[in-house]
Every structure is written in C-alpha cells, then in structure tokens.
Structure 1
Amino acid sequence: MATIVLTALGTAIGGPLGGAIGGLIGNAFDHAVLFRPKGVEGRRLNEVQVQTSTYGSQLPRLFGTLRVAGTVIWATDLKETRHRSGGGKGRPSVTSYSYSASFAVALSARAVRSVRRIWADGNLLRGAAGDFKTELGAFRLHSGGEDQAVDPLIAAAEGVGATPAHRGIAYAVFEDLSLADYGNRIPSLTFEVEADEGPVAIAGLAAELSGGILTGDGLGAVAGMAAGGADVGDALAPLAEAFGLALVAEEAGLRLRAGDAEGATAIAAGALCRSVNGRALNGCEHSGGSADSVPAALSVRYHDPARDYQTGVQRIGRPGPGRLEQGIDLPMALSGEEARSLAARKLGMAWAGRSTMTLRCGWDALRHAPGDVVAVEGVPGRWRIEEREWEAMAVRLALRRVPGAGAAIPLGASSGAMVRQADRPHGPTMLMLADLPMIREGVAAAPLIVAAASGGEGWRGAALFVIGATGEASPAGRTAGRAVMGWADNALPAGSVTMVDHINALHVTLLSADMELAGADEAALGLGRNLCLVGQELVQFSHAAQTGEASFRLEGLRRGLFGTEWAMASHEVGEAFLLLEEDRLVELAPYGSGAEIGGGLHVSAVGVGDSAPADALLTIRGEAVVPPSPVHVTARGDGTGGWIVGWTRRGRGGWRWTSGTDVPLGEDRESYELRVSAGPTELRRIVTDRSPWTYDAAAVVEDMGHPGELAVEIRQVGTYALGRAARIVLAG
C-alpha cells in the first residue's frame, strides 16, 4: 500500500477541493508546518485593520462580530463650501471655507446584519446608539443582500446604467462627511460589523466556505472572523491554527474534527511486530529533537472584544535555553484567556512534539488513520499518527507526541488597560446669547455680543447661523468649546458693589451632571476666574459646594462687576447662568447688522445630534460701548440757595485698579448730560464737560414749583452711546 501522508490526504480522497485544502491538514498535524506556515495567504491582522483603496484587493468574508477597516470603492472629490458673512457698517467681510466628501467603503464579501460603532483616525465617529460625532449629510448601509438596489448618491454621480448594485457585498456610504476634524482629508475608518447574531459555529462556517463539502460536529464556535485567501485552505487555515482542527476522510466525504481530542485509542504491546518472514524487526523506535528547535516564546495576536476589537497580544514563554520566538496572527475575535490558552497549547505541542516514535504493527493497525491520537502500552504519553504505510509486510506508523490530558493551562489572562473614548450621545444643543461689557483689556468700538453653547456629555459643537429679518440664514462659524451653563434656583437680592457678599448665596443647577464649579483664591479671582453671568449681572464667587447631582451653592459673591450693578434689582428664579470662559465663547459682532444697538439678533445653532435648531434672541444694548454710570455723586448747598452737584466718572476700559493713575477716559472727549426732573417730568437738560456742576438758586426756585421730588441724573456722553445714569434726589 502506498504511503498516506497527511498533506496528500485531501488530494487522494477529496479531488480538486481536497487539494485546495491539503495544506490545512499539514497545519493541523505537521510540527514544522505548524510553526512555520508556508504558502498561506489568508487574512492577516493588518489586512483587516488598515483601510485600503487598492484596485483588485480582496474583500474578506466576515462572520460573527469583528472590527475591520474595509476598502474604499468609490469617492467624490472634496467638496468646498464658501461662507461669506459680515461686511456691513464699515466692517470687513469674513470668508471661510469648509470641506466635505462623499465615499463608499466595502466591508464584507458576505451579507452582514448591521454596523455598530465607527472610528475615524482612532476617534469615535459613530456611537453605539447610532449617533454621529461629526457633521454628516447621510449614512447608508447596504447589507450585501442579493436583491439590494444601487445607491442613489452613486447613481446620481455616475449614472444609473454605470452604477453596480454590488450585490453580495456589504458596503457603507457616507454622504457629505465634514472633514474639518481630519485635516480636510478622508479619515482612516474602522467599523464594528455584526455579520451574524452571536458566535458562529465553526462547523457551519467551514461548510459555508467550502460550499457544503466539509462537515463536522462539536468543533465549538468563534465570536468573529475575517475569512479570505487564495483558496478554501487559506480561508480555513486560521481555524486550524486556533482550534487544532483535523481533516479526515470518511465514506460520506471530508470531515473536520478537533485534533486535540482528549480520548486516545490504545495500541497493545502485543500488536507490535517482532519479526516478519523470519527477519527480526524493531517494533518500536524512539527519537527526539533538541530544545533549541522549540520557540522560547510564542505570541498570539488577535482581535480583543474587551479592547473594542483592537489588536491584543498574549505571550507565553517556556523555561530552558533557546532564543527563537514565534508569532501567530489570527484575524478572529478571541478573549484574552482564549488567546493565552491557545498560545500555551501551541507551545506545549511544540515542546512535546520533539519526541517522535515509529511503530511496526500487524494488519490490525490499518484501522488507525493519520490524525488519530493513540496511547501505546508501556510507553508514556499520548501520540498522534502522522504517517501510515504498508511496508515489508508490516504496517509502519510514524507518531509524534502530543501534550497529555493533564497539561498545565495558564491562569486567566488580562486584556490590559486601554484609554477608551467615552461614547456619549450628543444630545440637544442649548444656546445662549450675551451682550457683555468689555471684560478684557482695551476699549471696545462695537458691541461685544457672544454666543455660548452646550449640551449633554457627548456634545461636540454646533454650526451657528444668523437669521435675517426675512428668515434667511447666514453662516456665522461654529460654536466654541462646551460651556458650563444652567439656571438659577433662587433670586439674588440686591447687594453691595464695594463689599464681598458673605450673607447671600446663589443656588444653581447646571445643564449636565458632569459639569463642575470650583472655588478660587484671591489671586485667581484677580485674574478673572469664576466670572459668571447671572441674568444680566456679572458676578464672581470664591466658594462652590455641590448640593446635588448637578446643583451647586455659590458663596463669597463679588457683585455688579464691570458696571452691571444696574441689573442687581432684576433677578428672578430660573434665569440663565453662564460661566464666562474665553475659550468657550464665540464673538458674533462681525456677523452683520444684527449687532447694532437697539436692534434684534436672532441666532440658530445646529448640532450633529439635534433634531431641530436651537434658537436664541437678543435685543442689543451695546454694554461694551455704553459708558458706565458715574459714582460718588454728591450735592451740597452753594450758600445762595443753589446746589453744587459733583461726581466721579468711570471708564469703559478702566476696570483694573491701578494705583497712582487716573481711570482712562475711553471716549473721544469728556462730556456729560444732566437731566433735572420733578417726579416724572423732565425740567431741564444740561451738557457739561466737567464735574462739578452748579445748579443756581434761580433755577432751583423755578423748578421747586413743580410737584414731585427734585432729582438730577448724570450720564457720560460716550463716543458710540449715551451712558447709564447716576441719580441723586435734591428735595422731596
């Protein structure tokens, strides 16, 4: 009988298909091939992790759940969008550009169920809830069914007659993906693809890949796998590598079985031949290999579900001499424990496999087939048959030792720590507009209108639009970082602008539980820390205590900052609260005529996760260009029946207290408007360029004849607006 070796078994029994998968048998049972695979061109880890667009590159067939990069099969040129805004009332126009792209990525040469998460350049692009973190026109998944239609976007660009439906191929289409976050290029994408619900039985997987020719039972299941290669043998090679599968020929055809089954068929000592035709034979011959022929360490690289299906590595070493290290790449999803056990089993097989044995037996030994695991009476250990040959009237069996049933299995493995990007839904956008005084150095020449926006924990920004009187929307850029905002739970009473308020406290509830407020010392407060807008008053706080999941009590209040003491009397429960941080504010003054004093401003914000725009309306007061009210107003008699009214001016750019210098004027010239009134009736209006002003006796006598209290209001005349009034009552 001719020699039957494992690598020829497929061809001898299975015909052309068996020849295609013949290398698989050798992988399962041949020690040298096991650790030095030759000619295997199946899917490697790097092939499913790196996105390509190479013409003719092979698409894997995905099973279970796995993270893959896919292949770009269609793309448009970058789409440039030009935004022009501003340019009114002597202001320069602002032109900005944004870029987007539309493209399609093939994922699997087999139908899939769904796409879960998507990563772009390693950052989460689509969350588990299906929410995108970057602006996108539309996303469509074609699952790869045999009846799927052409994609409408590709058909519109290429023509219906020139657009294939790619039936049998699962692919994803991105329409107008914003590229601002990716350097204005199509990012490298990876997809968490669910091809099947739950783990896939290895027997069913092998049957599908072989067209139903290969069968098997009790082979276990795999959580996910990318199958590919030049032939069926290449596609199944990772399974043989990972699970030690054996291919055997039966009357019904080719069949896969677990190659490391615990059971072993016994070969009795009496079955060994001592002589044939009077010629003495050695029925049992032993040989062994050196320790250097076995790797000192073996590493298994795989997809780890605990690491978002990124590459994991488990390494096993052995004691004793040796410098050789080997690695196995498996394009399949395994847990850390499974991968470590696999590495230990492979290394144990290599170590035990140094021992070989040749038996010469009688006719009964023909019932033992290559691949069977046997136990020989009087010889320790378990042995696998690698060759069976009829030779010189005896059956020669070539065996290699395999690890015993009691082989040590390593303790549980860890997948290691990883920095996982939080997957939080974007949530609806909340938008606030504020008309602020000049809170930074310098003197303003236009109103300081800012927009602040925020949302849930996953909020990442929104596009801003200024809405005109006729409803047209003009782009106004994007929001800044996520602002800390909320609302007041109590109405602050009026307080002092010259003393720290240690009596009253402000209770606020923030928009999200992950937002925080913290106290600050005097040095930090002097640098502008903890400045917040409460209603229309600017306040600083030195202490913050959390009172609920998103609630805080703020104490040590500095009130009426930057000339906003006029707003202290208008607080109410539920008014807006905004922590002013410069990197979280967007200035809107350059965007059109809506920023004129007395005019209205309507702004909309549209975020990635918004089902409807967030709108905010504001009537422009121009706080940054309105001079603050004078202070230290006094009135004293002039000795003739008149009054001498004095005051101290403040400047729009002089909020920092600098010793030894006057407050900067901040206007083109110094001028004041005084209004004398009796009750609601204005009696006279005076313009002067200095303090004090003399209200002579004759005018006082004339004005005292009107009913109501006699009072004087003083306003500074600014370059762009009339200032707020300081008032003093002269007579009741």
Structure 2
Amino acid sequence: MATIVFGTLGTILGGPVGGAIGSLIGRQVDTSLFGPSSRKGPRLTELAVSASSYGEVLPRHFGRMRVAGSIIWATDLVEHSETQGTGKGSPSATTYSYTANFAVALASRPILGIGRIWADGKLLRGEAGDLKVAGTLRIHTGVGDQQPDPLILSAEGEARCPACRDLAYVVFEDLDLSEYYNHIPALTFEVIADESFDLADVIGDLADDTDAAVPLETIAGFSSSGPLAESLQVLGQIFPLGADAGGEQLVIARERLQDSAVMLPEAAVSASDESFGGASGFTRHREPPPERPSSVMRYYDVGRDYQASVQRASGQAGPGEPETIELPAALDAASARALIEQSARRIDWTRDRISWRTCELDPAVAPGSIVTVPGIAGRWRLRDWEWREGGVELTLERVAPAGADVSPDLLADAGRANPAPDEPLGTTTLVAYELPLDSTGAGLDTPRPFAAVSSSTANWAGAALYADHGDGDLHPLGQSGRTRSVTGTVTANLPPGNPLLLDRVSQLEVALGDPAMQLVSATMEQLADGANLAMAGEEILQFAHATPLGDGTWRLEGLLRGRGGTESAITAHVIGEPFVLLDARPVPLDPSVLGNNSGRQVAAVGRNDPEPVTVPVLLSGITLRPLAPVHPRRTILADGAWRLNWTRRARGGWQWQDGIDMPLVEQTETYLVTLGPLDMPAALWFLGEPQLDISSAQLSDLAALAPGGQLRVRQQGTHGLSEPLSLCTLP
C-alpha cells in the first residue's frame, strides 16, 4: 500500500492497477514526488530585497509576481568626476557621481518579460518600460537559445561567461546611483512569467507522467521556491485536490475527469470480528474540529503593488491561535477573501466521514473520485482505499453540496495602499537670463546670469547645464537640481505702460508649464519689499493680483512695469514669449564659464530630453550696463542757447531716498550725447557732468547739419554704455 500526503485532504492511497487494478506500486511514488513526510509549506517573504548569497534558491514564478531576485554578478562602482568653475580668478569645484554594473537572477524557468521595478521602494522602471534614472537595462528571459550578455562577456571573457539558459535575469549597465545615496538599491521586480497558468504548469517537468490540468482560478501569480510537495501542499489547502497514483499516470483532482458521481454497490458484510460496521458493512462518523482551523490566509495583494496582505474567514473564533495559510500567490483582496471563506467551509463539510466495504472492483473508483452511496444522501470523495481479506475498505469524506462552499458577498479590504507614482519622465524647459545688480551692491564687476529650469511634470530629475560660447563646444555649468522654476509663456499681448506708475489697466495672461504650479497675490507693502517679481519677455515687472483662469492659465493685474532698468522692453512684447517668476528657484550660473560672447547660449540635458535644450541669454549684459538717465530737461537761456540737463541713476540703487544722491558705482561719471542715429551720429559730446550747453550759433549749425535730428544721452559706465535717453529734437 502506498500513501500520498496531500494538504488537508490527508492520506490518499495509490492502489494496484494491472488489468483491472493490478499490484501495489509502493511508497517510492510518495517519496520521489513529495520527499519526506514531514513538510512545511512555502512562506511569504515580505518582498525581501535582492541578495547575493551563494547557494540561494532561485524560485520558479508563474503568472505575474513581484520578486527580489539574487545578484549574480557585479563590478566595482564606477566613479565619475566633473570640475566646474575653471574660469580665470574663480575657484574650481569637483563633484563626483557613481554608477553601477550588475546582474540580478530572477527565475529558474523562462519568463515572458519584466514589468515595473522598484528601487528602495521608489519606481525605477515604470509600466511603460521607462527607466526613471540614467542607465541601461537588458532583460534575458531564459530561453533555450539565450546568448551571453555583452557587458558580462566583455568583462569576464568567453570562458567565464555562461549564457545562463533557462535562467531569467536582468543586467543593469551604468545605473546612476545618485538617487540612492551612491549604493546599489534594494530592488524588487514585477516578473511576467505567463499570460495564464494552471497546476500542470506548476508541476512542469518535475514529475513525469502526471495529469494535473487543474485551473487555478483567480490567482494572478504564484512562486514556487522549494520542493514541489510544498507547493502542492499549500495549494491543496485552497483548492480541493486529490491524487490517484493507481494508473499509468499520477492523476491530480481526479473528479474533473468524471461527468457524474459513481454509485457504489451495496456495502459488503464481513464476518470478521475485527471488521467495522458489523452487519451493515459501513460506519459513519464526524471528525472532531481541528485544534487550529485554517481561517487566516496571507498572500500578495495585486492592488497594493504585491505587498503582503491578510484575509480572514468569517465566523466565531475558536480557542487558540488559528492556523495561517501562507500562500505565495498574487491575488486581489476579493478573491483572497473568497478563497479563505471557501476553504473554511469546505473543511467543515469534510469532517463527515464514511468507512465503506465493497467486494466489487470498479476501475472508475479510485482515490479522488466522487461517489454516492446507497441509502445515504450527498456526494462523497474517496480519500483512500485498502485491500483486505474481507474486501476493499473505502474511506469517504463528504463533498460540500453545490453552493455550500460559496462565500457570501462579504467586503474585502486589503488596506490603504500608497503606491509609488508612475508618471512619465518630464522633459526640460529652460529660460536663461541676466539680472540687474542687486541692491546690496556686491559684485559690481560680476554679471548675474541665471537659468530658470523646469518641466511640465513633477516627475523630473533635473538637468545638466552647459554653456555654449557660440562655437558648439559645451562647458559644464553644473546640475539644475530637482526644484522646478515657475515658468510659462505669455498668451496675450501686453500693451505698453508707464514705468513710473502702478498700471491698473493692463493685464498680463500667462500659461504656466505645469497646471499644478501656483501664483499668489501680494499687497502693495509686499510689492515694495520686492514680492512677485517676474520677467515677461525681457521686461522685469511685478504683479499685485493673480487670478487663475483654469488649466494653468493666470491673469496678472496691478502691474509695476519696467523694473530693474528694463523700460525699453515695455513696448516689445509678443505672444509666446517666456514668463519666469524671479524667486529663489532659478539656478545661478558661473559667469566665468558662461562667458560674454554675443552668441553665447545655455544648454540643458535632462534624463528624458531627446535633444539638448538650448536658449540664448535674455537681458544679456544688464548687470554691468549702466542705467539710462532719466528726467530730461531743456532750458532756453537769455541769449537763445539751450541748456540740457538730466538725472543719472546708479546700478543697484533701487531704493530711492529723498535728499540723498545714490552713490556712483562706475569708475568715473561720463556721458555720451549724440545727434542723429546712434550708430552714425552727426555730432557727439563727451561730458563729465549731467549737463550740456549748446550756443545759438551751434544750434543753427546743428539744425543745418541734421534738421529734425534727435539729441540722446547715454551714460558711459565701466563696462559699457547705457540705453539712450531722448533729450530733445532740433528744429
């Protein structure tokens, strides 16, 4: 007699079949298939992280599962250095970053592919197959003609680089570790092993001559990391399985081969005193309830990114701690609740047992068969049978009536999930510009270039910034960081305004790059302190009121125009020009690296940018350029001469104080007055004070030389000329 221990179904006898039923096949069936009799089922691993221990078991995965894998090859971390600030007179800074090359084995059977990948709990690879950090991923599915990985082959040589056929693994090449504190992160992988699978796939070629085409309904994935017996044992607690080893094949869940239940013959009476049942030939009894009934099931919840979850069967709790079924399978909460409910109800029905004696041999009746017995209602499953001198003794257990093991419509909550966001990587937007000298007056001879770097989505890892001096060579300016500047475009033309007054009429409409970005209103006192400073085109302005119009569009009102000496840009607005909020988010650039060539550009290269983003520098030279003089005045003297006066301004002197002249920030106070076109003046004067006297005779000569010509004045600074101020027009 041979017995096969099989989950909660207990011992099923594999009987003799030879002709009708044949001779006994012995215990070798049991030991070869299931191993020793003392076993424990597989346990959930709580999404353990990747290991690299020798002798680590590589599981077989079915369906779709989240697994950790085992690191099977790696190189030392690769160090990368970048030096910035190498311009004349500026200190240099060297930054270091690290990348890694390594391989992770995932499954000991071929798979279809890889889905998402988590690194330290964050998504490293999204559902669409996009890596969230820099690097290259190669997937080897473990097919029979799999070739060696080229990176491992080049590093180890052909003699030391196996193709790892029938082993699914992935290789990371130059994986950027800056997001993971410069160490290889803890990785878990969503393995897509099969589109669908059943019990026959789980058994595979581990057991020959086995018929196990049992569907595993509602299970999205399953992992087998130990002997086959462990997997069958745990599945047998959830699905009603039975094994018949009496034929040429081992048949699992034999009842699926029946069209209807087999009617047993009348019970045979035995005269032996040791026989059960006496004159009836059968006995019926009810097994006591298990000390620790299986009413709790742990599983991987697909709705919570495969995190371990628990479902409990309903009903009154018994004494002691209930038995927990550790099911290494991926399910949704509703399916898991239904399975544990059905299992609990099924176990309660199988406690009803019958011992039945028969002298007739029926090949259709074997362990696992569904039968009916004369005079007793219900259907019964044959657990085992034993050939004795007085007949064949059958052990039957009750099969739950139709619908009795169907779980009621109960709520199943897996708990709140906080999945890692899987947003597409954003592309980089860039606006480069210079700012006027600030009010501190520090760095009088140093430009103030900035880069407003942003993206249309928060899933953006920043960009590397470079300077292009106009020759196509890129010079590193450093990293932008992940903080996005508030940028957008002007959607409606901004009319001209007076830079000396609060513009209560004009409206500036802008569309921000990300609708989630926000603008806020400010009081007049806050505006006086420098709040809501922005740049539209090449005009710097401030706004008091910000009104959202929907979809990231805003209307800005209460404008202070032409701030920072940008009055000349008030009339130069066009639709589509850039908008930048000038707060602390834009990145300062190294002016020594950026240079001062007229064709200079700033370039940004982000993780998801198909091409480098290059832009010119707006407001180029405004930091060092003197401000245009203001308040032109013309006085006609008694002799007919003209006296022209104006008021100078100083770079960085934004806080006007009555009675105090702003200090000059240039080396000398010099002015250039021109008549006619700026590039080809008819006359010019170099002055050391803000005044020009033109005699009546000179006026006549100038009027004849350039009739109707305009007189303009520009301040000559240390580094250049200011914008012109129109003084007057000749007759």
TM-score under structure 2 length normalisation: 0.84
Distance in structure 2 (CA, Å) of the matches to 1:502 and 1:242? 74
Q: CA deviation at 1:622?
A: 2.4
Structure 1 pair 678/666, CA: closer, same or farther in 2 (3 Å)? Answer: closer
Q: Any idea what SS the aligned residue of 1:344 has? A: helix
Q: Any idea what SS the aligned residue of 2:229 has? A: helix
1:497 correspondence with 2:499: yes
Q: For this pair of structures, how many residues does the alignment match?
A: 705
Could you say which residue in structure 2 is the equivalent of 1:88?
87
Contact kept, 8 Å, 1:14 with 1:253, in 2: the verdict is no
Distance in structure 1 (CA, Å) of the matches to 2:222 and 2:264? 44
1:242 correspondence with 2:210: no
Contact kept, 8 Å, 1:625 with 1:721, in 2: the verdict is yes
Could you say which residue in structure 2 is the equivalent of 1:313?
310
What residue identity is the alignment partner of 1:348?
R
TM-score under structure 1 length normalisation: 0.84
Structure 1 segment 297-696 matched on structure 2, within 5 A:
298-304=296-302, 306-352=303-349, 355=351, 357=353, 359=355, 361-363=357-359, 369-372=366-369, 386-389=383-386, 393=390, 403-405=400-402, 406-407=404-405, 409-411=407-409, 412-426=411-425, 428-438=427-437, 443-445=442-444, 446-457=446-457, 458-468=459-469, 470-480=471-481, 481-511=483-513, 514-522=515-523, 525=527, 530-545=532-547, 549=551, 551-583=553-585, 585-590=586-591, 592=593, 594-596=594-596, 598-618=597-617, 621-637=620-636, 641=640, 646-655=645-654, 662=660, 665=663, 667=665, 671-677=669-675, 680-688=681-689, 693=691, 695=693
Structure 1 pair 376/163, CA: closer, same or farther in 2 (3 Å)? Answer: same
Structure 1 pair 130/163, CA: closer, same or farther in 2 (3 Å)? Answer: same
Distance in structure 2 (CA, Å) of the matches to 1:655 and 1:273? 115
Structure 2 counterpart of 1:252, from 248, 254, 258: 248
1:157 correspondence with 2:169: no
Deviations 1:677-726 (A, max 9, x none): 366433311023xxx64637579657755534576645555555444443
Mean Cα displacement is larger for which, 321-330 or 4-13? 4-13
Could you say which residue in structure 2 is the equivalent of 1:78?
77
Structure 2 counterpart of 1:214, from 206, 210, 213: 210
Unaligned runs of 5+ in 1: 27-37
Q: Any idea what SS the aligned residue of 2:238 has? A: helix
Deviations 1:118-137 (A, max 9, x none): 2221212222222222111x
Q: Any idea what SS the aligned residue of 1:129 has? A: coil
Structure 1 pair 543/4, CA: closer, same or farther in 2 (3 Å)? Answer: closer
Structure 1 vs Structure 2 CA RMSD: 4.0
Contact kept, 8 Å, 1:425 with 1:609, in 2: the verdict is no
What residue identity is the alignment partner of 1:331?
P
What residue identity is the alignment partner of 2:159?
G
Distance in structure 1 (CA, Å) of the matches to 2:447 and 2:648? 21
Structure 2 counterpart of 1:188, from 161, 174, 186: 186
Q: Any idea what SS the aligned residue of 1:557 has? A: strand
Mean Cα displacement is larger for which, 313-322 or 437-446? 437-446
Contact kept, 8 Å, 2:674 with 2:713, in 1: the verdict is no
Distance in structure 2 (CA, Å) of the matches to 1:68 and 1:492? 57
Could you say which residue in structure 1 is the equivalent of 2:18?
none
What residue identity is the alignment partner of 2:508?
L
Structure 1 pair 109/186, CA: closer, same or farther in 2 (3 Å)? Answer: same
Q: Any idea what SS the aligned residue of 2:202 has? A: helix
Q: Any idea what SS the aligned residue of 2:571 has? A: helix
Distance in structure 1 (CA, Å) of the matches to 2:67 and 2:700? 91
Contact kept, 8 Å, 1:465 with 1:476, in 2: the verdict is yes
Structure 1 counterpart of 2:31, from 19, 25, 28: 19
Q: CA deviation at 1:73?
A: 1.0
Distance in structure 2 (CA, Å) of the matches to 1:61 and 1:288? 37
Distance in structure 2 (CA, Å) of the matches to 1:67 and 1:278? 56
Could you say which residue in structure 2 is the equivalent of 1:231?
227
Could you say which residue in structure 2 is the equivalent of 1:707?
706
Mean Cα displacement is larger for which, 184-193 or 542-551? 542-551
Contact kept, 8 Å, 1:227 with 1:236, in 2: the verdict is no
Mean Cα displacement is larger for which, 173-182 or 648-657? 648-657
Q: CA deviation at 1:623?
A: 1.7
Distance in structure 1 (CA, Å) of the matches to 2:720 and 2:170? 57
Could you say which residue in structure 1 is the equivalent of 2:20?
none
Contact kept, 8 Å, 2:492 with 2:509, in 1: the verdict is yes
Distance in structure 2 (CA, Å) of the matches to 1:13 and 1:676? 116
Deviations 1:24-77 (A, max 9, x none): 9x9xxxxxxxxxxx63364x4327642111121111222222222211111111
Mean Cα displacement is larger for which, 174-183 or 11-20? 11-20
Could you say which residue in structure 1 is the equivalent of 2:49?
50
Distance in structure 2 (CA, Å) of the matches to 1:278 and 1:181? 76
Distance in structure 2 (CA, Å) of the matches to 1:364 and 1:442? 110
Mean Cα displacement is larger for which, 721-730 or 376-385? 376-385
Contact kept, 8 Å, 2:33 with 2:207, in 1: the verdict is no
Q: Any idea what SS the aligned residue of 1:53 has? A: coil
Structure 1 segment 31-180 matched on structure 2, within 5 A:
39-40=39-40, 42=42, 44-46=43-45, 49-136=48-135, 138-180=136-178
Distance in structure 2 (CA, Å) of the matches to 1:163 and 1:254? 40
Contact kept, 8 Å, 1:629 with 1:716, in 2: the verdict is yes
Identity %: 34
Distance in structure 2 (CA, Å) of the matches to 1:557 and 1:390? 101
Distance in structure 1 (CA, Å) of the matches to 2:348 and 2:98? 58
Q: Any idea what SS the aligned residue of 2:603 has? A: strand
Deviations 1:253-311 (A, max 9, x none): 1111188999995888963859756998385353553686436x51322241x333333
Q: CA deviation at 1:80?
A: 0.8
Q: CA deviation at 1:455?
A: 3.9
Q: Any idea what SS the aligned residue of 1:161 has? A: helix
Distance in structure 2 (CA, Å) of the matches to 1:524 and 1:391? 101
Structure 1 pair 360/251, CA: closer, same or farther in 2 (3 Å)? Answer: closer
Structure 1 pair 591/182, CA: closer, same or farther in 2 (3 Å)? Answer: farther
Q: Any idea what SS the aligned residue of 1:181 has? A: helix
Unaligned runs of 5+ in 2: 16-23
What residue identity is the alignment partner of 2:453?
A
Deviations 1:326-378 (A, max 9, x none): 4333222212211111121233345556x454535343599865445666777
What residue identity is the alignment partner of 2:185?
P
Q: CA deviation at 1:201?
A: 2.7
Could you say which residue in structure 1 is the equivalent of 2:19?
none
Distance in structure 1 (CA, Å) of the matches to 2:193 and 2:374? 49
Mean Cα displacement is larger for which, 164-173 or 278-287? 278-287
Structure 1 pair 360/447, CA: closer, same or farther in 2 (3 Å)? Answer: same
Distance in structure 2 (CA, Å) of the matches to 1:127 and 1:116? 7
Distance in structure 1 (CA, Å) of the matches to 2:3 and 2:162? 51
What residue identity is the alignment partner of 2:447?
P
Distance in structure 2 (CA, Å) of the matches to 1:503 and 1:470? 45
Contact kept, 8 Å, 2:333 with 2:413, in 1: the verdict is yes
Bigger helix share: 1
Q: CA deviation at 1:426?
A: 2.4
Distance in structure 1 (CA, Å) of the matches to 2:472 and 2:621? 24
Q: CA deviation at 1:173?
A: 1.1
Structure 1 pair 183/397, CA: closer, same or farther in 2 (3 Å)? Answer: same
Distance in structure 2 (CA, Å) of the matches to 1:452 and 1:331? 50
Structure 1 pair 3/407, CA: closer, same or farther in 2 (3 Å)? Answer: closer
